[in-house]
Amino acid sequence: MDFFNAIVAFSNFVIVPATAYGAQLALGALGVTLIFGILRFSNFAHGETMAFGGMVTILVTWAFQSWGISFGPLPTALLALPFGILGTALLLLATDRAVYRFYRVQRASPAILLIVSMGVMFVMNGLVRFIIGPNEQRFADGERFIISAREFKALTGLREGLAFKTTQGITIVTAVVVVALLFWFLNRTRTGKSMRAFSDNEDLALLSGIDPERVVTVTWIIVAALATVAGVLYGLDKSYKPFVYLQLLLPIFASAVVGGLGSPLGAIGGGFIIAFSEITVTYAFKKVFNYLLPENLEFSSLVQLLSTDYKFAVSFSILVIVLLFKPTGLFQGKQT
Amino acid sequence: MNLKNIALFAVVAVLFVATGVMQSWNVALNIFNMGLISAIMALGVNMQWGYAGLMNIGIVGFVALGGLGAVIVSVEPVGAAWAAGGLRVLLGLAAGAATIVAAIFTWRRMAGHRLRSLAMLALLIVGFVIYRRIFDPAVHAIEAVNPALTGYLGGLNLNILLSWPVGGALAAGAAWIIGKTALGLRSDYLAIATLGIGEIVISILKNEEWLSRGVKNVIGIPRPVPNEIDLQNSASFVERAASIGLDPATASTLTVKIAYSGLFIVVLLILIWATQAALNSPWGRMMRGIRDNETAAEAMGKDVTARHLQIFVLGSAVCGIAGAMMTTLDGQLTPASYQPLRFTFLIWVMVIVGGSGNNWGSVLGGFLIWWLWVQVEPIGLWLINVITLGLADDNALKAHLLASAAHMRLLTMGLVLLLVLRFSPRGLIPEK
């Protein structure tokens, strides 16, 4: 029995939250990696793009809620998501026309584009705070749990409960659907193939008649969708605070680099590697170990490798280790 | 310095004088002092980006390390805490450092692929357990010593001016570690790695209470200048203030601020002299040569990675000095106040707007952007009041806009950066 208790406790505090968090990071890292592959720069405004997408979705959710529209047991935010994506796509396309296109035509260096993205980050940051304010916003509704800890205990008779929040379930399902759609698009459609060609070799792609502006436009729209979905899922699962998204930039970049910048598969792998290490390293294993060990050997300390406040240090350490031993990332990204 | 540059500095001077006349001289001097510190930070970043093309997105971490330097040097040591576990903490840190050195040594010297990895891993795990065994009890003991007032080791009780070079040295050490790992890879990786080191330094300051008191803050750090209250109690000072027509309270705050300005100006002048001399020396030409064409510089026999490491460490040290100066000015270390937007990205705006590669440009950018950062809020409020003049006072939109005026800052900084990058990419005072 104790063995099952240990497994349930471990799933409840590590596996389930890390899977949901990993899915959120993977979606964020996919956006970063797509921009890197096709527009060829590290986009420091990506965290703020997620915050903006989350904000638009929240505003539409509130409107729906005030009109009495709901999605049954699921959060209304899912209904508002397409509108959030639309708003974010419009913002990103406008930003591209007003800001990035000028540097693209000049073939500016990635470093200059990175600094430009800092400017965009400031503007978006101000925009989000100007519209929705800097405070925490709640917009989750519907059922809270798929299985609550109490139901699980009653069902199995174990001492440990396994809670599975609706938001965690939605995060995982949505991420799977979005990633499947993205890979179908990149591998099966003509536009997707031209995007990959453009990412692999820009000159060759141009030579074979691919319209670069079209590729860039489609990229921004996909990035808007990915960022909005990631931003909304993170906001639903934890809570929506605009400043958090700037802090998410580090784990997201770490995921993208660990997987290999420019590689979509790598971004997903990287997201889960970072999420699982962050949560495993900062989880106090006392409970799990004490179920497994005989009574006279029990731990009295927390058996926690690092305090939770150091979760940034985990993404950073993994980033440094990968940079030291395999600079192109675990899934072989771009080198230039 | 040609006529245009002198005119630019004159414009900034007018901004400060206007602030003094229209708001108050105390406000103007406050902005001026932080402007001096900002100018020094911008000089440091300009060395990295302007001379060598290295992107440092973790300035906030180096600034915070400088602030830690101020605490370690100047605060009085807490004897009870040292007795409780001071040496043990140092021993724990030494054990941790020895583990890492041993792991690196094993990796470099041992043959055999799998065996080497296993040996290194085993070494790291054993080392980590030993480190935690020594370190944790000591930390608990130190943090238990009068936690409401101390709960940390304190400092060395030396003159706070000494902390400025010490803060620079701390930042330089961190920069060396990060430079060793991330330099020589593609340029974005350094940016992302520094973003990480910035976050980590801040979380260390927030959580290692035995070292920095964490979010409980260290207050009452000794000052290099007299206290306002002592000046007000000194009869001769009050007399002199009265003779130029000032009340003692205003005169004392102004005197203290001017004293700080004097100290900071000395540092700024030394740094400008040093950076200008370096930039115009063969070393500076080599740096710019490496920046403009790494392959050619390498072909000429220059060790590009070593030179990059050198300038990265130097630039970070300058940021650390500025950080120690800022903590000296504030008289307190508040780890929660180190926001990347304020201490990393804003400094970048200063460097780019001033003109990357030009030291005078960085100084100008530091003053101008810091002035703007402070003044955009009242200006924004005024602007919104004017725009919404036609709306009734109880209008929801007007209320929302007025409440959000504070966020005009970020928007304005972003617009300034984007406009300068677009229409004057070389900045106000371009590199020659």
Per-residue pLDDT tens digits for B387-402:
888 887 778 888 888 8
Compute the distance between CA of residue B267 and CA of residue A177 in angstroms, rounded to an integer: 58
Distances (CA, A) of B432 to A36, B1, B290: 32, 11, 17
Q: Is the dihedral of CA A169, A172, A177, A178 positive or negative?
A: positive
**Backbone conformation region of residue A333, classed left if phi is above 0, alpha if psi is from -120 to 50, else beta:** beta
Compute the distance between CA of residue B394 and CA of residue B378 in angstroms, rounded to an integer: 21
Whether residue B31 has pLDDT greater than 70: yes
Whether residue A319 and residue B192 make contact (CB cut-off 8 A), yes or no, is yes
Residues B139, B33 share a domain = no
Average pLDDT on A81-106 reads 96
Interface test with A, best of B120, B124, B128, B417 (most A CBs within 10 A): B417
8 Å CB contact between A233 and A105? no
Q: Which residue of A has its CA nearest to B345?
A: A118
Whether residue B196 and residue A312 make contact (CB cut-off 8 A), yes or no, is yes
Chain B residues touching residue A250 (CB < 8 angstroms): 192, 195-196, 199
Please give the residue that has the higher pLDDT: either A187 or B397.
A187
From the list A42, A115, A121, the residue facing B421 with the nearest CB is A115
Domain C-terminal end among B153, B171, B202: B153
- Provide the residue range defining the domain that includes B17: 3-77+154-423
A93 contacts: CB under 8 Å, gap ≥ 6: A217, A220, A221
Chain A residues touching residue B189 (CB < 8 angstroms): 257, 323, 327
> Long-range contacts for B100-109 (Cβ within 8 Å, ≥24 apart)?
B100/B127, B102/B127, B103/B127
Residues B315, B345 share a domain = yes
Q: Is the dihedral of CA B215, B220, B222, B223 positive or negative?
A: positive
Residues of B within an 8 Å Cβ radius of A: 53, 55, 57, 128, 181-182, 185-189, 191-193, 195-197, 199-200, 203, 206-207, 340-341, 345, 348-349, 352, 403-404, 407-415, 417-418, 421-422, 425
Whether residue B185 and residue A134 make contact (CB cut-off 8 A), yes or no, is no
Whether residue B58 has pLDDT greater than 50: yes
Question: What proportions of chain A, in percent to the nearest 5, are helix, strand and coil?
Answer: 75, 5, 25
Domain C-terminal end among B127, B153, B179: B153
B220 contacts: CB under 8 Å, gap ≥ 6: B331, B332
Whether residue A302 has pLDDT greater than 80: no
Residues B115, B55 share a domain = no
DSSP letters of B28-78? Answer: HHHHHHHHHHHHHHHHHHIIIIIIT------HHHHHHHHHHHHHHHHSPP-
Instruction: Kindly report the average pLDDT of chain B as a whole number.
Output: 92
Whether residue B418 and residue A99 make contact (CB cut-off 8 A), yes or no, is yes
8 Å CB contact between B174 and B201? yes
From the list A123, A327, A335, the residue facing B414 with the nearest CB is A123
Average pLDDT on A61-86 reads 92
Dihedral, CA of residue B344, residue B326, residue B163 and residue B311, to nearest 10? 30
Compute the distance between CA of residue B430 and CA of residue B5 in angstroms, rounded to an integer: 10
Chain A residues touching residue B191 (CB < 8 angstroms): 42, 114
Q: Chains A and B: how many Cβ contacts under 8 Å?
A: 128
Residues B175, B97 share a domain = no
Specify the pLDDT at position A333: 58
Q: Which residue of A has its CA nearest to B195?
A: A250
From the list B182, B340, B410, the residue facing A323 with the nearest CB is B182
- Total of domains in chain B: 2
Compute the distance between CA of residue A14 and CA of residue A8 in angstroms, rounded to an integer: 10
Compute the nearest-CA separation of A242 from chain B (Å): 12
Residue B37: inside a domain: yes
Per-residue pLDDT tens digits for B202-228:
999 999 999 999 889 999 999 999 888
Per-residue pLDDT tens digits for B70-88:
999 999 999 899 999 889 9
Specify the pLDDT at position A334: 57
Residues B51, B88 share a domain = no
b (16+ CB within 10 A) / e for A20-42: bbbbbbbbbbbbbbbbbbbbbbb
Residue B428: inside a domain: no
Whether residue B57 and residue A247 make contact (CB cut-off 8 A), yes or no, is no
ipTM: 0.91
Whether residue B185 and residue A327 make contact (CB cut-off 8 A), yes or no, is yes
Show the tokens assigned to A145: 């749990």
Show the tokens assigned to A251: 């784990």
Show the tokens assigned to B347: 């400094």
Specify the pLDDT at position B426: 93
Per-residue pLDDT tens digits for A125-151:
999 999 998 899 988 888 888 888 888
Residues B297, B176 share a domain = yes
Q: Which residue of B has its CA nearest to A109?
A: B187
Q: Is A242 helix (H, G, I), strand (E, B) or coil?
A: coil
Whole-number CA gyration radius for chain B? 24
Specify the pLDDT at position B349: 96
Whether residue A332 has pLDDT greater than 70: no
Compute the distance between CA of residue B143 and CA of residue B137 in angstroms, rounded to an integer: 10
Specify the pLDDT at position B163: 95
Average pLDDT on A300-308 reads 78
Whether residue B188 and residue A312 make contact (CB cut-off 8 A), yes or no, is no
Q: What is the pTM of this model?
A: 0.93
Whether residue A122 and residue B186 make contact (CB cut-off 8 A), yes or no, is no
B174 contacts: CB under 8 Å, gap ≥ 6: B61, B62, B65, B197, B201, B316
Interface test with B, best of A97, A121, A130 (most B CBs within 10 A): A130
Chain B residues touching residue A323 (CB < 8 angstroms): 181-182, 185, 189, 193
Strands (E), A49-189: 145-147, 164-165
Please give the residue that has the higher pLDDT: either B325 or A2.
B325
Whether residue A323 and residue B193 make contact (CB cut-off 8 A), yes or no, is yes
Residues B245, B124 share a domain = no
Whether residue A300 has pLDDT greater than 80: no
CA atoms within 13 A on the CB side of B97: 7
From the list B188, B203, B340, the residue facing A110 with the nearest CB is B188
Whether residue A134 and residue B181 make contact (CB cut-off 8 A), yes or no, is no
Burial class (CB in 10 A: 0-12, 13-18, 19+), B352: buried
Specify the pLDDT at position B262: 97
Q: Which residue of A has its CA nearest to B200?
A: A313
Whether residue B413 and residue A122 make contact (CB cut-off 8 A), yes or no, is yes
Q: Is the dihedral of CA A44, A48, A49, A51 positive or negative?
A: positive
8 Å CB contact between A199 and A25? no
Specify the pLDDT at position B152: 92
Residues B117, B240 share a domain = no
Compute the distance between CA of residue A229 and CA of residue A264 in angstroms, rounded to an integer: 16
Residues B170, B147 share a domain = no
Residues making up chain A, counted from first to last = 336
Whether residue A121 and residue B203 make contact (CB cut-off 8 A), yes or no, is no
Per-residue pLDDT tens digits for B180-193:
888 877 778 889 88
Question: What proportions of chain B, in percent to the nearest 5, are helix, strand and coil?
Answer: 80, 0, 20
Specify the pLDDT at position A336: 42
Compute the nearest-CA separation of B121 from chain A (Å): 13
Categorize the per-residue pLDDT at B33 as very low, low, confident or very high, splitting at 50, 70 and 90: very high
Q: What is the largest CA-CA distance in chain B?
A: 83
Compute the distance between CA of residue A237 and CA of residue A17 in angstroms, rounded to an integer: 9
Specify the pLDDT at position B427: 93
Residues B110, B65 share a domain = no
Residues B126, B56 share a domain = no
Average pLDDT on A76-94 reads 96
Residue B289: inside a domain: yes
Whether residue A115 and residue B187 make contact (CB cut-off 8 A), yes or no, is no
B1 contacts: CB under 8 Å, gap ≥ 6: B360
Residues B238, B359 share a domain = yes
Compute the nearest-CA separation of A10 from chain B (Å): 22
Residue B431: inside a domain: no
Per-residue pLDDT tens digits for B102-158:
998 888 888 777 888 889 899 999 999 999 999 999 999 999 988 888 889 989 999
Compute the nearest-CA separation of A116 from chain B (Å): 6
DSSP letters of B345-364? Answer: IHHHHHHHHH-TT-HHHHHH
Chain A residues touching residue B409 (CB < 8 angstroms): 126
Specify the pLDDT at position A241: 92
Per-residue pLDDT tens digits for A22-35:
999 999 999 999 99
Q: Which residues pair with A71 in a beta bridge?
A: A74
Domain C-terminal end among B122, B153, B184: B153
Q: Residue B190: which of A326, A270, A107, A323 has the closest Cα?
A: A323
Q: Is A147 helix (H, G, I), strand (E, B) or coil?
A: strand
Show the tokens assigned to B285: 């030409």
B411: CATH: 1.10.3470
Residue B356: inside a domain: yes
Whether residue A310 and residue B192 make contact (CB cut-off 8 A), yes or no, is no
Whether residue B159 has pLDDT greater than 60: yes
- Other C-beta atoms within 10 Å of A5: how many? 18
Q: Residue A24: which of A318, A166, A237 has the closest Cα?
A: A237
